Structure formats: structure tokens, C-alpha cells
Amino acid sequence: MALDERVSGVFEDADDGSEAFDQAEDGVPQVLSRLSEADDRAATPGQLAIVEQVTADAQLLELWLHGRSQHTQLGHLAPASRARKISSIKSLFGFGHRLGYLPFDVGRVVRRPKLKDTLAERILSEGDVHRLFLAADQPSSVKCTPLQEKRARRNYVLLRLLYTAGLRVDEVARLAWRDLRERGDAGQVTAYGKGGKTRVVLLPASVWRELLSIRDGAPPDAPVFASRAGGGFLTTTQVRRLVYAAATTAGLDERPSPHWLRHAHATHALERGAAIHLVQATLGHSSVATTGRYLHARPTDSSARYLPV
């Protein structure tokens, strides 16, 4: 009998297996052990044989992993990266089960490692953000060429747009001039991003003027931030590198990614009184709870301030 048929039989005979799934914290062998204990109390010899076989299969998998490279066991990854990969695997198995392709969701017994919330560590101060802007606007050499000056100006405007519009790195990298529209003395940007969602963000007049200053008569389908090699769209890797370079020039202690500017946008806007639902709409969060994380990461008050110390 195939493994999926044997395991399916186990869960059909064990009160639907939901309690065992909910209590699982350490992986498949522990869940199977609990099911085996339940079957010991009220199970036929045939059912016990199935549990024993499934347990043997799980042990076989552990033996196969033993001694394998760290890459096979995900041991070389940071906890956050490991959690993301486990989430992807769980999502795949869950999707296959919902489609009916898999008889049961084997990924449900796998728990993601619990992670420390490091959001507060990835929020730049307003001062650090402005130091990034100034650093990006400086050419890489004292005797710079017109091309270097143009590239420095492009980098400056890109960082300003990342921050003021709260864009993701892939959204800003693939912006074309047709995605920008004038609105009175300012303008708006249309971003197409995560989850295939489109949102429109109204820009400050100052940032709008800076964007227009780097257009140089480019056609509507041309990239807003063109690569120096061939004039095509920047890659997300190139955007990350220019943010890293600006942080180094600015002398920041941290090595921020482009996404840190999005975190800074949310935090600074909320601290300056922006409504949380407005910030949610600007950033494109599907849930206001996601936006609310920034309030917890940078509280404006705490009971510690009321103690006699």
C-alpha cells in the first residue's frame, strides 16, 4: 500500500486527527507517536500495523536527512529565511490538499520556528533618512562627469520616491513614465505590486518636481529610473546596491535595504498624525493589522514613563 494511502487511513481512524495536528510542535514523528498512543487504547491489530509502518517511514526520512549537507536540512539559513521556506512548503502542500490532489495536508504538522519581531530594528529615524538622501545626491568622485552627476541625481530621486510613496523595491524598479500623472501642481504614481494589486499614491509637489527634472523628454514607456547599461529598467539588485552605497556614504551604522524606507514611511507618517487607514491604503496592506505593527514597534507612550525612577 502506498504511503499516502496508509497515512490517510490513520487520520480517518483517529477522530479526524485534528487534535493531534493542533498539538504538534516538533514535527511528524511526534504526531505519529500521539496517534499511535491513541490507537493503542482502541484500535484493531490492522490499524496498529498501519501506524507502525507510518512511523517507520518517518524514521526512514530522518535517517535519510542524517548526515546530509546543511543545505539539504536548511541548517545554513538564518531563522527568518528558514521560516519563509517552511511557509512555502506548507503552502504548497495545503494548496495540493485543497485541490484534492493530495489526500491530506502533510505540511500542517510542521511548525514554523518562532521568530523575534525585529521590525523596530529596521526603522530609520527621520534624520537617517535625510542623510541617505544627501549621500545619494553626491557623485562618487570629486571630479565627476556629467554622466556621474546625472546618475547621482537619479539615485537621489529614486530614494526620495521610495520613502515618500512607500513603494516596494520591485514596484519602483519597473516604473515607466506612463505610471506617473500630473495632479494640479503635484502628481501621482500608479504602482503594480505584491499580489497583483494596483494602487495609486498621491505625491508631494516637491517630489513630483524632482521626478520631472530627470525625465529629459523620455517617452511614456521608458523607465523612470533607467540603467546606465542599455537604458533599460533597473533590477531590484541594482536598487538594493545603490541604497547600500548611500548608507555607506552617509556613515549609517546599519545596512538598510530599500524596504527600510517603506518601514520609515509608515512609522513617520503615523507618528506625525496620519490616519492608520490612510497609511494602509498608501502602502497597499491588505489588513490594517499589518499597518498596526508599526504602532507597536514605535509606541508613543508606555507605563515605564510613569514610574518613580
Which residues participate in catalysis according to the annotation? Answer: 168, 194, 259, 262, 285, 294
Contact 55, 32 (CB under 8 A): yes
The CA distance from 141 to 155, in Å, is: 15
Q: What gap in Å lies between CA 112 and CA 134, rounded to an integer?
A: 41
Phi, psi of 182 (to 5 degrees): -70, 140
How buried is 172 (Cβ within 10 angstroms: 0-12 exposed, 13-18 middle, 19+ buried)? buried
C-beta separation of 201 from 282 below 8 A: yes
d(CA 158, CA 47): 63
Terminal CA-to-CA distance of the chain, rounded, Å? 70
Q: Left (φ > 0), alpha (ψ -120 to 50) or beta: where does 251 sit?
A: left
**Which residues are CB-neighbours of 117 under 8 A, at least 6 positions away?**
293, 297
Comparing C-alpha atoms, which of 266, 64, 54 is closest to residue 165? 266
Contacts of 165 (CB under 8 A, 6+ apart): 172, 189, 191, 201, 203, 207, 265, 282
